[in-house]
Amino acid sequence: MWNDFGDYILGEVGEGNVKIAEIGVGKFDMIANMLSERENITLIKTDINPKDSTVIKDDITNPDIDLYRDTDIIYSIRPPSELQPYLVNLALEVDSQLIIKPLTNEDLNTGRVKMKLKNFRKASFYILR
């Protein structure tokens, strides 16, 4: 399933130069590692408690907007429901595509904004373009 999720994002990227942000990377960085192998991807990883120097400290409830400017895709894996509205607000503010991979069978908490359920191979997630 994780390879399918990563493959979907890579398919959205294409060949041009893109900036991607993973928010709330935590300790699971399989997708980030997969994306960082591509030379045309500038990847930033953020978390409120960075696990190492490759992760930028940022609080999604009060994000550093300049960090996310010109971001083409923002994604988050299993973000707590109380943080999901902040992800939506950030994506809308910087005009970025948003992909949320929630816990299995978890309802989204995106407020007034409806995200589209996407099934790609064995992966299921929500998209806001």
pLDDT at 26 (0 to 100): 86
What integer pLDDT is reported at residue 87 of this predicted model? 96
Superfamily of domain 2-10+21-128: Vaccinia Virus protein VP39 (3.40.50.150)
DSSP string for the chain? -HHHHHHHHHHHH-SS-EEEEEES-TT--HHHHHHHTSTTEEEEEEESS-SSTTEEE--TTS--HHHHTT-SEEEEES--GGGHHHHHHHHHHHT-EEEEEPSTTPPP--TTPPPEEEEETTEEEEEE-
For residue 121, what pLDDT is reported?
92
What do you get for the CA distance between the two ends of the chain, in Å?
A: 22
> What is the model's pLDDT at position 29?
86
Predicted confidence at residue 103, as pLDDT, reads: 80
Q: What pLDDT, on a 0 to 100 scale, did the predictor assign at position 106?
A: 72
42: β partners: 19
pLDDT mean values, one per 10 residues, the chain (129 residues):
89 90 91 92 95 95 96 95 94 96 79 88 91
**pTM tops 0.85, yes or no:** yes
Pair 20, 72: CB distance under 8 Å: yes
The pLDDT assigned to 8 comes to: 92
Residue with tokens 């408690």: 49
